[in-house]
């Protein structure tokens, strides 16, 4: 890798599709390559990136470069503004100039699914990702468990790549549970899992979002937190109780700093209304300290990301 000091933690990489691999009925793995992907920082876990999709078929997705890329993108006329979608890095191989991204294929006809279904090797896009030349933290990694905590990972198909990437990087002594709701039984994704972690795949098979995940998390929480308790005395530093988030108007996203000493750490991601309900159950009904719950509304039913 080059030793150039980056001027910002993130940069725009120009990439093209090197390979496509169908992982199941609802998932497509896209391997990207690019001349400067040796500068891509391999942070692991749930590292977020952004992909700029084509404005129209046959027109490469692109973004302005530089630290102010986002504002410059917003200032572009609509006909030149590539749609942006957020994904998790499934694997990074900077020495091979490659990054893998697993895409969940929705039936909503949105720009990401339309592009993915027509993608071919050689297609060009822009990727916003962490620059290995940056000397500090890049951000975009929300999985921050305390040492020794029992893990509870839960999410739908949009969170499945992140959950698998987290499982891949867990130390051998990790212990806990991962619950993943996916559209179909054939949507089980390959991943490496420590011996102390159980992974349960929950195919919806045409039922509504959350219909399998919510009862599974509720049942597991009853075992991990066997008796509902009174909410713990709130330390002055923890602030007031969290307000209920209106998922139709606000972003559902709260990631606490690493809660030292927590016995159970929960990471929840997926459809915002479902995740809000799971977080409410763990914190309000089961008495789990809110500082030990990271929860992220990756998407909202009926809403586009941007």
113 plus 166 within the same structural domain: no
173 plus 37 within the same structural domain: no
Task: Say which residues have a Cβ less than 8 Å from residue 242's Cβ, sequence separation at least 6.
Answer: 254, 283, 290
Q: Region 214-229: what's the mean pLDDT?
A: 88
Q: Region 10-20: what's the mean pLDDT?
A: 95
Which helix (DSSP H) or strand (DSSP E) does residue 116 occupy?
helix 111-118
**Structural domains in the chain (count):** 2
306 in a domain, yes or no?
no
243 in a domain, yes or no?
no
90 plus 164 within the same structural domain: no
What average pLDDT does the chain have? 88
Residue range of the domain that includes 77: 10-130
Question: Worst-scoring range by mean pLDDT, 130-139, 172-181, 296-305?
Answer: 296-305
139 in a domain, yes or no?
no
88 plus 214 within the same structural domain: no
244 in a domain, yes or no?
no
Please, which pLDDT band fits residue 10 given cuts at 50, 70 and 90? very high
108 plus 173 within the same structural domain: no
Whole-prediction pTM: 0.88
Select from 113, 87, 97, 71 the least CA-distant residue to 15.
97
242 in a domain, yes or no?
no
Backbone angles phi, psi at 126, to 5 degrees: -115, 140
177 plus 254 within the same structural domain: yes
CATH number at residue 275: 3.40.50.80
CB of 37 closer than 8 Å to CB of 100:
no
Is residue 238 scored above 50 in pLDDT?
Answer: no
115 plus 182 within the same structural domain: no
63 in a domain, yes or no?
yes
- pLDDT in the model for residue 108: 58
115 plus 210 within the same structural domain: no
* Cα distance between residue 122 and residue 263, in whole Å: 47
Which helix (DSSP H) or strand (DSSP E) does residue 138 occupy?
none
Instruction: Output the six-digit token pair for 273.
Output: 């209304």
Q: Region 125-154: what's the mean pLDDT?
A: 95
97 in a domain, yes or no?
yes
208 in a domain, yes or no?
yes
CA dist 211 → 104, 207, 216, 278 (Å): 18, 6, 9, 12
The residue whose two tokens read 């990087």 is: 169
Q: What DSSP state is assigned to residue 12?
A: E
Instruction: Output the six-digit token pair for 179.
Output: 């619950």
CATH number at residue 86: 2.40.30.10
pLDDT in tens, 60-116: 778 888 888 889 999 988 888 899 999 999 999 999 999 999 999 976 567 888 899
């Amino acid at each position: 890798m080059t030793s150039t000091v980056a001027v910002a933690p993130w940069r725009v990489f120009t990439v093209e599709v090197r390979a496509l691999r169908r992982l199941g009925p609802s998932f497509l793995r896209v391997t990207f390559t690019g001349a400067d992907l040796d500068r891509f920082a391999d942070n692991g876990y749930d590292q977020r990136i952004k992909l700029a999709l084509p404005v129209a078929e046959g027109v490469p997705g692109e973004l302005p470069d530089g630290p102010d890329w986002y504002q410059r993108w917003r200032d572009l006329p609509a006909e030149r503004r590539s749609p942006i979608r957020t994904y998790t890095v499934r694997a990074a191989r900077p020495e091979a100039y490659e990054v893998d991204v697993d895409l969940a294929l929705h039936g909503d006809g949105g720009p990401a699914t339309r592009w993915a279904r027509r993608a071919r090797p050689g297609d060009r896009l822009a990727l916003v990702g962490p620059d290995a030349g940056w000397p500090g933290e890049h951000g975009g990694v929300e999985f921050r468990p305390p040492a020794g905590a029992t893990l509870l990972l839960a999410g739908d198909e949009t969170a499945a790549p992140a959950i698998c990437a987290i499982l891949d990087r867990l130390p051998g002594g990790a212990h806990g549970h991962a619950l993943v709701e996916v559209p179909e039984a054939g949507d089980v994704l390959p991943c490496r899992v420590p011996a102390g972690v159980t992974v349960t795949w929950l195919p919806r098979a045409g039922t509504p979002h959350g219909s399998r995940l919510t009862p599974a998390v509720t049942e597991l929480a009853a075992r991990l937190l066997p008796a509902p308790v009174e909410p713990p005395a709130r330390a002055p530093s923890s602030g007031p109780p969290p307000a209920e988030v209106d998922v139709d108007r606000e972003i559902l996203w709260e990631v606490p700093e690493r809660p030292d000493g927590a016995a159970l750490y929960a990471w929840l991601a997926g459809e915002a209304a479902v995740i809000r309900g799971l977080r409410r159950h763990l914190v309000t009904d089961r008495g789990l300290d809110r500082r030990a719950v990271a929860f992220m509304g990756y998407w909202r039913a009926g809403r586009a990301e941007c």
